Structure formats: C-alpha cells, structure tokens
Structure 1
Amino acid sequence: MAFGEHTDPQIISVLRSNGAPGLEISLRDGAWASVPHDGDGDSFFVNVGDTLQVLTNGRFRSVKHRVVVNSEKSRVSMVFFGGPPPGERLAPLPALLGDGGRSRYREFTWKEYKGSGCKGRLADDRLCRFEN
C-alpha cells in the first residue's frame, strides 16, 4: 500500500518511520527524488505544510511528496499534524510581506481551506484558490 502525491495542509507534519525507504519528494522540474531513509528509524522528518507556506507568504514552501511501495521492506509511518482550529483566520504575517507589502494569499479560515480540499483530488494544489 502507498500514498499518492500531495502536500500537507497543516502548519507542520512530523513524521517518523520504521527506517524503510519509499518517501519521495517532487523537485521543481516535476521529477521525483527519493528521500534518504533512516536505516535505524531514529530520525524525524519535518514537512512544511500549506498553512506555514501561507503564514510565511511563500518563504517556506510546502513540498509535494508521496510514498511508494517497497518490495524489500514494509514501510510503517507515524505522523503528527499541527494545525489551527477551524475558525482561525489565515493570512501572511505582516512582517513577512517583503518589499511593497504584497500578500501572495488572501485571508481565509482553516475551515474554508479544508472545505476546498474536499472539492478536488489529493494531488491538486489547494492553495491556488486563495492566491491574490
């Protein structure tokens, strides 16, 4: 079993696996790169989520990733998602707007964001609906 390409919606995701390979990230040119696995399973991977991308006005980017099937060893992962409450309003932090104060994203709630994700596919760019 595997998990298709997606970005994480939350602020951050903290992932720990059993040391089996299979996690891949999408590079800027669209190619997939294997993330070196931790053979001992002692490491944590921290993924930036879509919410942190918005809060930092794109300074930190949510990376599209996927998990592929590995025929040598089953991959087991545990993940902790950190995200805001449903009514929380999300927008770039004023200190991170940069030159000219241009916001890349309009203000929206976590509930609006999560609701928009239900209208598309897992691999869809969910943040494009909130871009200025």
Structure 2
Amino acid sequence: DAESDSMLRVNHYPPRPELQGRLLTGFGEHTDPQVISVLRSNGTSGLEICARDGSWAAVPPDPDSFFVNVADAMQVLTNGRFRSVRHRVVVSSERPRVSMIFFGGPPFGQRLAPLRQLLGDGGRSRYREFTWKEYKSSTHKGRLATDRLCSFEN
C-alpha cells in the first residue's frame, strides 16, 4: 500500500573492546509497534529477547538467517494470541554490529482491532478499536520500555 507506514532502518553499533566482557546497551528494551519486523544482521551478537520470567536470552548470530518479530499491531490483530517480542541490543563485541530491519506498518488511517475469528468462545476483545495514527502518537509520549498497548486494552 502506497500509504503504509513501513520503513527500512539500518543500525550500526561500533565495536567496544574496552568493555572487556561487560555489556553496554546499544538499543534499550522495547517492543516494535508495527505489525511485523524482519531483521538481518552481519552475524555479530548483541540481539537479546526477554523470556516470560523476565530474564534475557541471547539470539545466536546467523548471517544467513532473518529474525522475524511479531510486533504490537499483530498482538492486537490476534487478540493477544501472538505476543509482541520484547527485545534489546547489547554491545560487548570487538566487531561492529550492523543490522537492517524492515518494519511493516499499516497506513495511518487504518483501524486496528482483534479479528473476529480470534475472539474465542466468549467473543471478548482484549483491545479496543483504534487507528494506527492514534497508536503511533501514543508511542511517542512514553518511554521506550513502557508497555504501550496497555492504554488500548478493554
């Protein structure tokens, strides 16, 4: 869609050999707001995902693979069946890390709500209907690590 809010981002994290095994946050913990994000890196470690217990797990670097994240809008569309992936990037490498991420987002006027087929037996929607523009505007008001979907829950 020519009106979509999709974008491609390239991130560069310079090497930090002076850290000697300590971790430095390269990009703080967050979920992506879009529907889906597709990431490819240069095979250097640094990407971590948050487990349900709150611990962080390193994603093994693989220069031949893509890493696909379910993002916030997909969580809404699936009524929470697919959960947005909380992740971060840490820097501790002697090699630079380069990543390219495609963020697939809908047009600003697109209305988002759980798909009727995924409401379950009770037909209960976990999220109220809202526009993509409304959601994007709300993401800029909070901190990066904030649960941005909570203000759209029923």
Aligned counterpart, 1:84: 106
Aligned counterpart, 1:58: 80
5+ long unaligned stretches in structure 1: none
Aligned counterpart, 1:106: 128
Provide the aligned length of Structure 1 versus Structure 2: 130
Distance between the aligned counterparts of 1:75 and 1:100, measured in 2? 46
1:70-97 Cα offsets, whole Å, 9 max, x none, are 2221110001110100010000000000
Counting only pairs closer than 5 Å after superposition, residues 111-122 of structure 1 correspond to structure 2 as: 111-122=133-144
Preserved contact between residue 45 and residue 93 of structure 2 (Cα < 8 Å): no
Instruction: Give the counterpart letter for 2:29 in structure 1.
Output: E
Kindly name which structure, 1 or 2, has the bigger radius of gyration based on alpha carbons: 2
Distance between the aligned counterparts of 1:25 and 1:17, measured in 2? 15
Distance between the aligned counterparts of 2:115 and 2:58, measured in 1? 33
Instruction: Confirm whether residue 9 of structure 1 aligns to residue 9 of structure 2.
Output: no
User: Please, what TM-score do these two structures have when normalized by structure 1?
Assistant: 0.96
Distance between the aligned counterparts of 1:52 and 1:115, measured in 2? 18
Give every structure 1 segment of 4 or more consecutive aligned residues whose post-TM-superposition deviation is greater than 2 Å: none
Instruction: Confirm whether residue 29 of structure 1 aligns to residue 53 of structure 2.
Output: yes
The structure carrying a bigger strand percent of its residues is 2
- Root-mean-square deviation (CA, aligned residues, Å) is 0.8
Shift of 1:118: 1.1
Distance between the aligned counterparts of 2:92 and 2:44, measured in 1? 8
Preserved contact between residue 40 and residue 67 of structure 2 (Cα < 8 Å): yes
5+ long unaligned stretches in structure 2: 1-12, 14-25
1:88-123 Cα offsets, whole Å, 9 max, x none, are 000000000001100000000000101111111011
Distance between the aligned counterparts of 2:150 and 2:128, measured in 1? 10
Identical columns (%):
78
Aligned counterpart, 2:6: none
